[in-house]
Chain A
């Protein structure tokens, strides 16, 4: 993902918004101004024709035209205008045309009709400048028939006005956009200051300061982030402490057998012994080493199980078949301890067969190891929950809470060659299956339960 500055993105968006809004309102204003000016100009043109009509009606037109042509020229008042008075079909009586424009051929408004805005004709000069014109007939007192008044005006001043207005709008829009961009960059930067502070604070947290937490923030939007971050830190801290604890426990648990190995080997080598003694020493050493190797295996299994991406081979397992296999394995051991093994597993379960077998075997080994003599170990299931039950000394609340922890043993004297990892492996296996394991102790019956999720694990 390409990272882009929040400030840059926001100011870009804001500037674009400003440009769009300013442009739209500018266009609207420009158009309404142009319309208004156009109407005003059309009305002025009509007024002029009206004045001339009135004049011609009241005066002797021909005489007036011949005596005072300047009057008409003055009435127009600028070089952009045009005035032609003529009797239809005859040469004009007067032509005021400083701009030398062609006389527009338009139908005159009859003498008995009033003038309206619709009588104005909108044309354009060769260079595109608008040219408005109107024509009307007026009765004369001294001429024969009606006189035709043609007038027009080139709108170059209006075009100029509108053009400069348009340029102003464009300039204002551009300036506003730039201003908004600059201001928004500054504002966003200022608003993001807490975020930078947050980054600096997060930077200060490392393994030695895992207990540190991010301080409460003033900005409401940052609160959830800080809270989530702090929760993550809490989880990390807990995990880290657990890991340190496990490493320490492991070192302790490795110390004992290694110390035995060193000690007894040293003693054996300190003088010459009989072959039997040497064999006994080597055998004992082998036992200790074998225990170490198994412990390392189990530790590695647990470490891998922490990693949820471990490949799981989920299958539909026939529980009755699995029960038979486990019964086969543990029967001798149970008989040896004069205990009975009652297997009533049935139905199907979706799980990893190797892992499920391992979890159940660990629970059963545990039940057989700590169960009372002459009692029965029961293994049964209710749907997706598998139970292993034995009769034995009750487990206290503290024992129940910690029994699945690594290297934890109910009491040191009950350590009969077990690594103290069996039950934590059970817990890891259940976590991998997104299930739970529970222990329940009541009336001298200790029950371990493996609860598998009712739907197949969502992998």
Chain B
């Protein structure tokens, strides 16, 4: 999967390249609109990450030029979260947007969503991690052959973890995906929920699957 990052801010460009490369993508970067447009026309990319505020040719102009020629999904990154701005981007043919500051986990989640949508990959009905199995249709969870009873929320939380194995999920992202709470209410709700899920999933077993990433959030994977 090839991704093009068009971003004029050097530090932002670098961490996105690094993070996306480590997440298993092939990443090209462009530091201004003209170069970005040139790359997008010369090569095939599965996804383009586009910064709106750039000197010279800005993101809107790049998007307008792209839309006429290429049907690659575009996620635009903007510091202005106003409704008009978002609508403008979506009208110009962007597929999604992220408002700065955003967490990298959120960016990664959106990237995967777009790539799935483009590739029409069907998600499996049973998700597996080490000896843990989650059956989406039957809403059953087993570990090492033992059935584990989860509440609705715990099931949804585990489902989210298993959809993003090995990725760090921030509290904000979890609150948004599991409870549909899209704002900060200064609470430890997510921590409490993860703690309870951990007691059921990891408690009785030797190998921990849910790991705390100090300060950032949680990650679900077989190797610590």
> Which residues on A are within 8 Å of B, measured CB to CB?
279-280, 282-287, 289-290, 293-294, 296-298, 300, 304, 311, 325, 328-330, 332-333, 335-336, 354, 357-358, 361-362, 365, 368-369, 417-419, 422
Contacts and interface: CB of A to CB of B under 8 A. Distances in A.
Contact of B189 (A279, A304, A330): A330
Interface centre among B175, B180, B189, B196, by most chain A C-beta atoms within 10 angstroms, is B189
B187 interface: yes
Nearest to A286: B215
Contact of B181 (A289, A290, A329, A333): A329
A365 B196 CA distance: 19
Counting from the closest, the 9 A-B pairs by CB-CB distance are: A283-B215, A283-B214, A332-B192, A294-B184, A286-B215, A418-B186, A293-B101, A287-B215, A365-B185
12 contacts: A286-B215, A287-B215, A294-B184, A297-B183, A329-B179, A330-B187, A333-B187, A362-B185, A365-B185, A365-B187, A368-B187, A369-B187
Nearest to A357: B181
Given A328-B179, A332-B196, A422-B185, 14 more contacts: A283-B216, A284-B215, A290-B172, A297-B184, A300-B81, A311-B83, A328-B152, A329-B181, A332-B192, A332-B193, A333-B188, A361-B181, A362-B185, A368-B187
Given A328-B153, A332-B193, A336-B188, A358 B213 contact: no
Interface residues of B, number: 28
Interface in B192-224: 192-193, 196, 213-216
B78 interface: no
A282 B215 contact: yes
B32 interface: no
A282 B180 CA distance: 28
Contacts of B101: 289, 293, 296
Nearest to A293: B101
Given A283-B213, A287-B215, A325 B192 contact: no
The secondary-structure label for the interface of chain A is helix
Contacts of A328: 152-153, 179
Contacts of A417: 186
A336 B192 contact: yes
A325 B180 contact: yes
B182 interface: yes
Contact of A354 (B182, B193, B196, B216): B182
Contacts of B152: 328
Contact of A332 (B180, B186, B189): B189
Interface string B155-191: 0000000000000001010010001111111111100
A418 B83 CA distance: 27
Contacts of A304: 82
Contacts of A332: 189, 192-193, 196
Contacts of B81: 300
A368 B153 CA distance: 20
Interface string B46-74: 00000000000000000000000000000
Contacts of B184: 294, 297-298, 419
A333 B170 CA distance: 18
B198 to A, nearest CB: 13
Contacts of B215: 282-287
B189 A333 contact: yes
Interface string B13-56: 00000000000000000000000000000000000000000000
Contacts of B170: 290
A355 to B, nearest CB: 10
A58 B216 CA distance: 143
